[in-house]
């Protein structure tokens, strides 16, 4: 039979669950007192289940920790006379609620209160942030002082142009800074002037660009494809992206043909092309090539897997360089390699806007599984003799 109302242990568990989620810690002082209804015992319930009601009332009468917060109402029943019924719990503030829930919750409340005071002392905006992020504050624990120390130093900088490793503060290392990028980003957004923040860069991965620190340079790896061609004695070269994008101005080297190839082995074994270069692709990450406008002046090819993601990457690359020609990403190549067909684990299902008509028709055949389910032909399975640049 269904209980006439929630038991004290049920109520305590629900309150504890909400505390663990940070709900009560993030409430403002004017949200208190907190009222927790216990349900209603009506006249019909008293008549039909009087013994159950009395047993339920006794549970609250016997619960000493709950007594200071219980409110009762008296009801007058035609058969059973006057009876006092518990109707609600009322907690005047977070400290009382914490005290009721247990020692650990009371300790958490003390820790939160102390941390919040530190945040408000540092900056009003940080204090307000802390009110809304109690679990983050508690998680930091003893690291909070160091974190505030680092934030204070960073908030005094205006796009310093150094690596995070170069921050020379006692007790602060680069791992600590990396670990706390998310919170630091939230704090800096609240406290730095607009001109110190580059709004176009968002997310933890773009922390350095957003606040004017140096980021580990992304390397572009490429090979020169003609045996007689070497640059400064090298044919397989990696350069920081900004240096690579200035490469074409070097009088010792010039290119007519550039091929971006996804698979490393395919790039390493790519056949000779006079005045040619192969760039080792890295999936969807083409941001580093955006400023390489000398690629507009060469014959440009892209070769990826024959599957939905292969065409999606081609589409993204062609958005940057519209004159790109796909290589071995056609229906004939696909159908001539049935023995090597595989399965794409998770398909790309969006729309693409930079494919040719034939490319788009083949992409949609992959996307809608018209040829085979989750069909994929990886580029390393394509016969070597077919790799030709005319």
Q: Is the model's pLDDT at 30 over the cut of 90?
A: no
pLDDT, position 91: 94
Q: Is the model's pLDDT at 249 over the cut of 70?
A: no
Return the higher-pLDDT residue of 154 and 38: 154
Q: Is the model's pLDDT at 152 over the cut of 90?
A: yes
pLDDT, position 227: 67
Q: How far is 302 from 87, CA to CA, in rounded Å?
A: 72
Mean pLDDT comparison of 106-110, 273-277, 344-348, highest-scoring range: 344-348
Q: How far is 247 from 160, CA to CA, in rounded Å?
A: 28
Return the higher-pLDDT residue of 267 and 86: 267
pTM of the model: 0.68
Tell me the angle at which helices 103-122 and 143-155 cross, rounded to the nearest 10 degrees: 20
Q: What is the mean pLDDT of residues 361-376?
A: 97
| Range with lowest mean pLDDT among 45-49, 157-161, 190-194 | 45-49
Percent of the chain surpassing pLDDT 70: 94
Q: What is the mean pLDDT of residues 291-317?
A: 95
User: Quick one: which of 153, 155, 98, 147 has its CA closest to 119?
Assistant: 147
pLDDT, position 253: 59
Confidence of residue 150 (pLDDT cuts 50, 70, 90): very high
**Domain parsing of the chain, residue ranges:** 8-101, 103-211, 219-386
Give the strand pairing for 236-240 and 219-224.
antiparallel
Confidence of residue 376 (pLDDT cuts 50, 70, 90): very high
Question: 129 and 187 in contact (C-beta within 8 Å)?
Answer: yes
Q: How many residues does the chain have?
A: 390
Question: 288 and 280 in contact (C-beta within 8 Å)?
Answer: no
Tell me the angle at which helices 308-320 and 357-367 cross, rounded to the nearest 10 degrees: 150
Q: What is the mean pLDDT of residues 291-316?
A: 95
Q: Which residues fall within 8 angstroms of residue 117, CB to CB, at 6 or more apart?
A: none
- Radius of gyration over every alpha carbon of the chain, rounded to an integer in angstroms: 33
Q: How far is 245 from 279, CA to CA, in rounded Å?
A: 12
| Range with lowest mean pLDDT among 33-42, 134-143, 304-313, 327-336 | 33-42
Strand partners, 220: 239
Is the preceding omega at residue 33 within 30 degrees of 0, hence cis?
yes
pLDDT, position 3: 77
- In Å, what is the CA distance from 279 to each residue of 42, 302, 330? 78, 9, 21
3-state secondary structure the chain: CCCCCCCHHHHHHHHHHHHHCCCCCCCCHHHCCEEEECCCCCHHHHHHCHHHHHHHHHHHHCCCCCHHHEEEEEEEECCCEEEEEEEEEEECCHHHHHHHHCHHHHHHHHHHHHHHHHHHHHCHHHHHHHHHCHHHHHHHCCHHHHHHHHHHHHHCCCCCCCEHHHCCCCCCCHHHHHHCHHHHHHHHHHHCCHHHCCCCCCCHHHHHHHHCCECCCCEEEEEECCCCCCECCECEEEEEHHHHCCHHHCCCCCCCEEEEECCHHHHHCCCCCCCEEEEECCCCCCHHHCCCHHHHHCEEEEECCECHHHHHHHHHHHHHCCCCEECCCCHHHHHCCHHHCEECCCCCCCCCCCCCHHHHHHHHHHHCCCCCCCEEECHHHCCHHHCCCC
Q: Is the model's pLDDT at 364 over the cut of 80?
A: yes
Q: What is the mean pLDDT of residues 33-52?
A: 79
Q: How far is 32 from 55, CA to CA, in rounded Å?
A: 31
| CB atoms closer than 10 angstroms to residue 230 | 13
Mean pLDDT over each residue of the chain, to the nearest integer: 90
């Amino acid at each position: 039979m269904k209980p006439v109302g929630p038991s004290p242990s049920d109520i305590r568990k629900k309150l504890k669950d909400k505390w663990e989620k940070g709900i009560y810690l993030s409430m403002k002082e004017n949200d208190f007192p907190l009222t927790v209804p216990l349900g209603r015992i009506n006249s019909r319930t008293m008549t039909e289940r009087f013994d159950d009601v009395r047993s339920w009332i006794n549970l609250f009468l016997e619960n000493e920790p709950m007594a200071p917060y219980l409110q009762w109402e008296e009801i007058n029943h035609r058969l059973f006379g006057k009876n006092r019924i518990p109707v609600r719990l009322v907690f005047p503030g977070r400290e009382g609620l914490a005290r009721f829930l247990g020692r650990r919750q009371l300790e958490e409340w003390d820790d939160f209160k102390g941390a919040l005071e530190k945040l408000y002392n540092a900056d009003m905006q940080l204090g307000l942030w802390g009110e809304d992020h109690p679990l983050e504050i508690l998680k930091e624990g003893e690291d909070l002082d160091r974190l505030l120390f680092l934030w204070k130093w960073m908030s005094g900088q205006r796009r310093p142009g150094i690596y995070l490793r170069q921050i020379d503060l006692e007790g602060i290392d680069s791992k600590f800074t990396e670990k706390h990028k998310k919170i630091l980003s939230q704090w800096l957004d609240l406290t730095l002037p607009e001109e110190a923040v580059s709004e176009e860069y968002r997310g933890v991965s773009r922390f350095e660009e957003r606040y004017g620190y140096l980021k580990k340079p992304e390397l572009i790896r490429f090979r020169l494809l003609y045996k007689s061609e070497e640059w400064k004695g090298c044919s397989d070269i990696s350069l920081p992206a900004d240096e690579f994008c200035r490469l074409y101005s070097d009088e010792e080297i010039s290119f007519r043909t550039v091929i971006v190839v996804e698979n490393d082995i395919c790039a390493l074994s790519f056949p000779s092309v006079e005045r040619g270069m192969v760039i080792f692709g890295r999936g969807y990450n083409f941001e580093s090539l955006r400023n390489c406008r000398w690629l507009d002046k060469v014959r440009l090819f892209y070769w990826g897997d024959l599957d939905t993601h292969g065409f999606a990457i081609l589409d993204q690359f062609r958005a940057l360089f519209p004159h790109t020609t796909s290589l071995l990403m056609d229906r004939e190549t696909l159908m001539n390699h049935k023995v090597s067909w595989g399965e794409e684990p998770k398909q790309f299902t969006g729309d693409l806007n930079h494919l040719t008509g034939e490319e788009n028709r083949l992409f949609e055949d992959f996307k809608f599984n018209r040829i085979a389910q989750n069909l994929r032909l990886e580029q390393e399975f394509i016969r070597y003799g077919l790799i030709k640049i005319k």
